[in-house]
Homo-oligomer: A and B are copies of this chain.
Amino acid sequence: MKLHEYQAKEVLARFGVPVPRGRVARTPDEAEAIAKELGGRVVVKAQAHTGARGKAGGVKLAADPAEAKAHAANIIGMTLVTHQTGPQGLPVSSVLVEEAIDIEREIYLSVAIDNSPGMPVIIASAQGGMDIEEVAANTPDAIHKTWIDPACGFQPFQGRQLAFAVGLDGEHLNPASTLIGNLAKSFLDSDGSIVEINPLVVTKDGRLLAADAKFSIDESAEFRQQALAEQRDRSQEAEKELEAHDAGIQNYIKLDGNIGCLVNGAGLAMATLDAIKFAGGDAANFLDIGTANNPEAVVSALKIIGSDPDVKAVLINIFGGLARTDIIAEGAVQAINQGLVKQPVVVRLAGTNVEIGKQVLDDAGLDLGRADGFAEAARMAVEAAQNAKNAQNTQ
């Protein structure tokens, strides 16, 4: 779960990481008032879950409160389109109004989970303000890492090590070490999955400030991060994905193809996208129904898939383990009988209770494509989609 920049900075500030003075505004008047408080030049920044906001017109410098108000009026309500958002863009309903900073240097700083040692890793680079993956690819020596061992927690030497590595020595050594320790603490205490300060700036007057910040929370830990979970901004998430989330569906992601997929298990669901590709088609979505053992979840999932105008055919690919194929079959029959899926449907059932599941389908007397094998099912779905498209084109 992602936080907005202003929310991320609130968390950081609470843990003692210095951030520019500023506040969020939801109206141009509020933006003007905040700019007055800050008493000088300010930056007005669109709050949306994407990077590269500047290029898209989402970040503006204002010389005075009046200009801040004008910028806010332009930005609030806009749809921000960047290479990260896709063509549909993201709505902007608030701006962060902050003191403008005179930048001396830009540093990169982040904390994330490193799977292999199973520990959080703190990453720093003197090449701040840039895409860190590019820096890592082009100049790996410019990336400095240290891991937080849960047996002893973050240690001050780790902060010093990184500070020296990115050239924050002299008067900056102690503030930088402390800042890095506080950043680590904010990550651990908030169940972070990633926190990134890019750039961390050294200002011309010698301060260290987190000029931009991203903070994502581990969704599995939301049960103990209530205050952060409540900050979720649903406007930043795709409507159908939210609908799926609310229906208790494990994971739904909209894709570009025309074959709607209902699969159990993330691995099989990914492999289903691959199999469709191999059969010459493209999936319209990724949907992991998980182990939801009730027909209602299946009905909800098929409703989401069936109502997607891009979907020309539906592939239900279930290998039952904890999930029972008979329950999936029941849900599928209900959804089709309720008219929620008008597209051709291919069903492949295997695993737990497969004989009962198949019987359910047989008994329903519906016109379904049926397959036993995985590749075969994918082929049939691609063919059905192609036929449906052709039929549509000839109409």
**A-to-B contact residues, CB < 8 Å:** 150-152
**Which B residues are CB-close (under 8 A) to A150?**
151-152
3 A–B contacts from the bound complex (CB under 8 Å): A150-B151, A150-B152, A151-B151
Q: Which residue of B lies closest to A151 (CB)?
A: B151
A87 to chain B, nearest CB (A): 46
**Which B residues are CB-close (under 8 A) to A151?**
150-151
Which 3 A-B pairs rank lowest in CB-CB distance, beginning with the nearest?
A: A151-B151, A150-B151, A150-B152
CA distance A152 to B152 in the complex (A): 10
A153 to chain B, nearest CB (A): 9
CA distance A163 to B203 in the complex (A): 56
**Which B residues are CB-close (under 8 A) to A152?**
150
A150 to chain B, nearest CB (A): 6
CA distance A151 to B150 in the complex (A): 5
CA distance A150 to B150 in the complex (A): 8
CA distance A150 to B152 in the complex (A): 7
Q: Which residue of B lies closest to A152 (CB)?
A: B150
A120 to chain B, nearest CB (A): 14
A154 to chain B, nearest CB (A): 14
A189 to chain B, nearest CB (A): 14
A227 to chain B, nearest CB (A): 20
CA distance A338 to B151 in the complex (A): 54
CA distance A77 to B104 in the complex (A): 67
CA distance A151 to B119 in the complex (A): 12
A104 to chain B, nearest CB (A): 35
CA distance A151 to B152 in the complex (A): 7
CA distance A150 to B149 in the complex (A): 11
A303 to chain B, nearest CB (A): 40
CA distance A129 to B152 in the complex (A): 36
A212 to chain B, nearest CB (A): 34
CA distance A150 to B151 in the complex (A): 5
Q: Which residue of B lies closest to A150 (CB)?
A: B151
A102 to chain B, nearest CB (A): 38
CA distance A152 to B118 in the complex (A): 13
CA distance A151 to B151 in the complex (A): 4
A198 to chain B, nearest CB (A): 31
A98 to chain B, nearest CB (A): 35
CA distance A151 to B153 in the complex (A): 9
Q: Which residue of B lies closest to A153 (CB)?
A: B150
A7 to chain B, nearest CB (A): 28
A302 to chain B, nearest CB (A): 40
CA distance A3 to B151 in the complex (A): 29
A56 to chain B, nearest CB (A): 44
CA distance A335 to B152 in the complex (A): 47
CA distance A367 to B392 in the complex (A): 119
